[in-house]
Copies of this chain bind each other. A is one copy, B any other.
Amino acid sequence: MIEPKILKGFRDYLPETMIPKKNIMRKLESTFESFGFSPIDTPALEYTEILLGKGSGETDKQIYRFKDHGDRDVSLRFDLTVPLARFVSLHYNELVFPFKRYHIAPVWRGENTQKGRYREFFQCDFDILGSNALTADYEILLLIMAGFESIECENFLININHRKLLNGIIDHFGLLDKSQNILQAIDKIYKIGKDEVVKILMEEEKIDAAGIHGILKTLRLDGDFSKEGIKGDEIFTVLHSIKDIISDEYTVYADELLTIFQYLQDAGNLHKFAYNPAITRGLDYYTGIVFESFITDRMNFGSVCSGGRYDNLTGLYSKNPVAGVGASFGLDRLLALLEDKEQIGKKQTVSELIIFNMNNDFIPLYYKLADQFKNAGIKTEVILDKQKINNQFKYAERKGVTWVVIAADEEFKANTFNLKNIIDGTETKALTVEEIIHTIKG
C-alpha cells in the first residue's frame, strides 16, 4: 500500500474550503466582467527562458524547472504577469487595445514554506493594457473597490501613491541619486518604524539628517503617522503643499493624484481611499501610480489587493511597447479573512435541500420532485438508498444542510410533502412544492 501523503507546501481543498473559495472567485469574476474585463488563460508550463526573462536571483531559486520529454528547458509559471507579457507580445496583432483582461489561475513557487504561505497558490490579476489614460488607473481603483464590495468585505481601505511624485520630493532635497535606496527604506516604515528608517538612511546611505527629515516631513511620515495613510480633505491639502515645493517637471504627477482623488470625491467614494506616501511597491516594475489595499480590522494580513502602473510590459519580448495598469487580489488572504470571521468550515456541501428516501420504489418520483426544486434554483440531493430515518437525519446534519423533504405513498398521492428545518426542528406537513420553494427561499 502507498502512503496517501501530500507534498509540503501544497494542499487539498475539501468542500468546506472549496465552496467559499469558489464563491469568492465567482463574485470577483462577475465584478471584472461587469466592467467589461474578459477572461484569458495561458499554459502552466512555459519555456524557462520566457519565464526567467531578465531574471532575478530570488525567482531563479524558487522556480520549478526541469527538462521535458523533448529535452526542452521548461518551468511552471511563478506569476501571471510574465506569461501575460509573453501572451500580449505573441498575440499583439490579434488583440484590440485597450485590452482589458482578468486571469485567475494557480502559480507555483518552491520557496520555504511558512504559515499561510504555499508553494501552489491562486493569483487573481486584472489589467488594462495599451492605455496611458489616467482613466485606466481610475477604473482599476473602482474595480478594486467593487471587488471588495462584491465579496461583502466592507472594512477595506485602498492606499494610493505615485512613484514619480516620490522622486520629485527626493529630487527637491537633492537626493535623486539615492532615490532607490530611500524608497526601499520608506517602504519598510510600517514594519520597522520611523526611527529605524532614519537610522538606515543616516548610517548606511550617509544621508544627512536635514534631508531625511525634510523628506519624511513632506510626506507626513515624521510624526505620529497612521498606518492607514492620509484621508479625506487632508489628501488635497498635502498634495497641494507637495506640489508647491517640487520642481515643475514633477507637478504633473501631483496633478494625476489630485485628479483621481477628485474623481473619487465627486463619486462619493473618497472614504474608501487614502493617499499613502509610504507605499512604493516593487521598484523595478511599477512606474506610476501604485496601490495597496488593507482590511482595516485585519491590518496584520498585509495588502490583500495591490498593483499599479507600469510603462512597458512587453519590452522583453517585443518591439511594440505596451503600457498597462492593473492589480491582483490575494485569494488566500481573502479566504483567510473568511476563516478568521468563522465563515468557513460550516458547510460540507452545496446542497440546500435533501429529499429523504423512504422506499427505493419511489426513486423516479424523488428525482422528478428534485427537478422541481432544482428548476427553482434550490440545490437538491436525493438520499440514494433507503435507510433508517435517523441515519438520514444524521447524514443531513453532518453535511450541514438545513432543509429536508420527507415523502412516501400518501404524500405522492396528495402531491403535498413534509418539510423539516433540522436546525430549529420545525416541521410543516402537507406543503405543495410551491409552498416549500417559498419557505426555503424565504
Contacts and interface: CB of A to CB of B under 8 A. Distances in A.
A384 interface: yes
Contacts of A3: 317
A267 B43 contact: no
30 contacts: A2-B316, A4-B90, A5-B50, A5-B90, A7-B72, A10-B43, A12-B40, A12-B42, A13-B41, A13-B42, A15-B38, A15-B39, A15-B101, A18-B38, A18-B40, A21-B41, A35-B370, A35-B374, A36-B379, A38-B349, A38-B350, A66-B66, A100-B349, A131-B385, A135-B382, A138-B367, A139-B382, A142-B367, A263-B364, A263-B367
Interface in A93-143: 94-96, 98, 100-101, 106, 108, 110, 119-120, 128, 131-133, 135-136, 138-139, 142
A74 interface: yes
Contacts of A120: 43-45
Interface in A123-170: 128, 131-133, 135-136, 138-139, 142
B135 A395 contact: no
A321 B239 CA distance: 68
A313 to B, nearest CB: 12
Interface in A175-233: none
Interface of A: 1-8, 10-15, 18-19, 21-22, 29, 33-47, 49-50, 53, 61-62, 64, 66-70, 72, 74, 76, 85-87, 89-91, 94-96, 98, 100-101, 106, 108, 110, 119-120, 128, 131-133, 135-136, 138-139, 142, 263, 266-267, 316-319, 348-351, 354, 357, 360, 363-364, 367-368, 370, 374, 379-382, 384-385, 395, 398-399
A157 to B, nearest CB: 20
Contacts of A317: 1-4
A36 B44 CA distance: 30
Contacts of A318: 1, 4
Contact of A7 (B40, B46, B350): B46
A6 B43 contact: yes
Contact of A379 (B33, B98, B395): B33
B68 A41 contact: no
A111 to B, nearest CB: 9
**Most chain B Cβ neighbours within 10 Å, of A3, A38, A133:** A38
Contacts of A15: 38-40, 101
Nearest to A95: B14
A34 B69 CA distance: 42
A318 B4 CA distance: 8
A90 B6 contact: yes
A10 B45 contact: yes
B96 A348 contact: yes
Contacts of A11: 43
A319 B40 contact: no
A74 B7 contact: yes
Nearest to A42: B12
A43 B90 contact: no
B380 A12 contact: no
Given A19-B39, A33-B350, A45-B120, 5 more contacts: A2-B53, A5-B90, A12-B43, A68-B110, A135-B363
Given A96-B348, A317-B4, A398-B96, A380 B36 contact: yes
A263 B363 contact: yes
Contacts of A385: 131-133, 135
Contact of A38 (B5, B42, B348): B348
Contacts of A14: 40, 91, 94-95
A74 B10 CA distance: 12
A47 B7 contact: yes
Contacts of A66: 64, 66-67
A86 B10 CA distance: 14
Nearest to A380: B36
Contact of A12 (B87, B132, B370): B87
Contact of A108 (B8, B44, B89, B382): B44
